[in-house]
Amino acid sequence: MTSNLTTANPGDPVEDSTPTLPGMNTLSVHGGDNRQRAHQAIPMPIIQTATYAFADTADLINFMQHKTGGGLVGREEYGRYGNPTIQSVERKVAALEGADDAVLFSSGMAAITSLLLSAIPTGKHIVMTNDCYRRTRQFCETFLKRLGIETSIVACGDYEALEAAIQPSTRFIVSESPTNPYLRIADLERIADIAIRHKVRTLIDSTFGTPVNQRPLDYGIDYIVHSATKYLGGHHDLLAGVVAGRKDRIAPLRDARGVLGGIIDPQSAYLLERGLKTLGLRVSQQNATAMQVAQYLEAHPAIERVWYPGLPSHPDHAIAVQQMSGFGGVVSFEVRGTLEQTSRFIDALEIPYIAPSLGGVDSLIEQPALMSFFEKTTDERLELGIKENLVRFAIGVEDASDIIADLEQALRVLA
Ligand SMILES: *Cc1c(COP(=O)(O)O)cnc(C)c1O
Same domain, residue pair 132 and 225: yes
> Which candidate, 372, 351, 348, places its Cα nearest to that of 362?
351
User: Which H or E run includes 245?
Assistant: strand 241-245
Return the best residue to mutate from 106, 107, 109, 366 for the ligand 1 pocket (most ligand atoms within 8 A of CB).
Answer: 109
Same domain, residue pair 361 and 306: yes
Q: Read off the CATH number of the domain in which 357 is found.
A: 3.90.1150.10
Does ligand 1 lie within 6 Å of residue 241's CB atom? Answer: yes
Going from the Cα of 244 to the center of ligand 1, the distance in angstroms, rounded, reads 15
pLDDT at 12: 43
Measure the CA–CA gap between 104 and 117, rounded to whole angstroms. 16
- The per-residue DSSP string of 360-391 comes to SSS-EEE-HHHHTSTTS-HHHHHHTT--TTEE
Q: Which one of 214, 241, 276 terminates a domain? A: 276
CA 150 to mean position of chain CA atoms: 24
pLDDT at 381: 84
Same domain, residue pair 72 and 145: no
Measure the CA–CA gap between 247 and 415, rounded to whole angstroms. 56
Same domain, residue pair 97 and 116: yes
Measure the CA–CA gap between 362 and 396, rounded to whole angstroms. 5
Same domain, residue pair 240 and 372: no
Q: Which one of 276, 298, 316 terminates a domain? A: 276
CB 47 within 8 A of CB 83: yes
User: Which H or E run includes 50?
Assistant: none
State the pairing for strand pair 241-245/101-105. antiparallel
Residue count of the chain: 415
Interior angle at CA 89, CA 353 and CA 393, nearest 5: 20
pLDDT at 395: 98
Q: If you take atom 2 of ligand 1, which residue's CA is the nearest one?
A: 227
Same domain, residue pair 302 and 201: no
Same domain, residue pair 150 and 60: no
Q: Does residue 16 sit within a domain? A: no
CA 206 to mean position of chain CA atoms: 4
Same domain, residue pair 123 and 87: yes
Q: Does residue 4 sit within a domain? A: no
Same domain, residue pair 150 and 234: yes
Catalytic residues: 80, 133, 205, 230
Q: Does residue 6 sit within a domain? A: no
Interior angle at CA 272, CA 104 and CA 131, nearest 5: 65
Q: Read off the CATH number of the domain in which 89 is found.
A: 3.40.640.10
Atom of ligand 1 nearest to the CA of 240: 7
Q: Does residue 10 sit within a domain? A: no
Going from the Cα of 300 to the center of ligand 1, the distance in angstroms, rounded, reads 31
Does ligand 1 lie within 6 Å of residue 210's CB atom? Answer: no
In order of 102, 128, 267, the CA distances from 241 in angstroms are: 10, 20, 14
In 10-150, which ranges are continuous DSSP H helix?
Answer: 24-30, 57-66, 84-97, 108-119, 134-139, 145-146
Going from the Cα of 353 to the center of ligand 1, the distance in angstroms, rounded, reads 19
Per the structure, the count of domains in the chain is 3
Does ligand 1 lie within 6 Å of residue 230's CB atom? Answer: yes
Same domain, residue pair 196 and 295: no
Does ligand 1 lie within 6 Å of residue 108's CB atom? Answer: yes
Q: Does residue 118 sit within a domain? A: yes
Q: Does residue 12 sit within a domain? A: no
Q: Does residue 350 sit within a domain? A: yes
Q: Does residue 17 sit within a domain? A: no
pLDDT at 386: 87
Measure the CA–CA gap between 90 and 254, rounded to whole angstroms. 11
3-state helix, strand, coil in the chain (%, to 5): 40, 15, 45
Query: In DSSP terms, which residues pair with 292 in a beta bridge?
Result: none
Instruction: Provide φ and ψ at 74, rounded to 5°.
Output: 80, -25
- Which range marks the domain in which residue 61 is found? 48-77
Same domain, residue pair 137 and 268: yes
SS3 161: helix
Global confidence as pTM: 0.93
User: What is the residue-level pLDDT of the chain in tens, covering all 415 positions?
Assistant: 334 454 334 444 444 556 678 999 999 999 999 888 888 999 999 999 999 999 999 999 999 888 765 444 578 999 999 999 999 999 999 999 999 999 999 999 999 999 999 999 999 999 999 989 999 999 999 999 999 999 999 999 999 999 999 999 999 999 999 999 999 999 999 999 999 999 999 999 999 999 999 999 999 999 999 999 999 999 999 999 999 999 999 999 999 999 999 999 999 999 999 999 999 999 999 999 999 999 999 999 999 999 999 999 999 999 999 999 999 999 999 999 999 999 999 999 999 999 999 999 999 999 999 988 888 888 888 888 889 999 999 999 999 999 999 999 999 998 7
Within 8 A by CB and 6+ apart from 321, the residues are: none
Going from the Cα of 227 to the center of ligand 1, the distance in angstroms, rounded, reads 4
Q: Is 85 exposed, middle or buried (0-12, 13-18, 19+ CB in 10 A)?
A: buried
Q: If you take atom 5 of ligand 1, which residue's CA is the nearest one?
A: 108
Q: Which one of 276, 298, 321 terminates a domain? A: 276
Going from the Cα of 372 to the center of ligand 1, the distance in angstroms, rounded, reads 13
Same domain, residue pair 151 and 128: yes
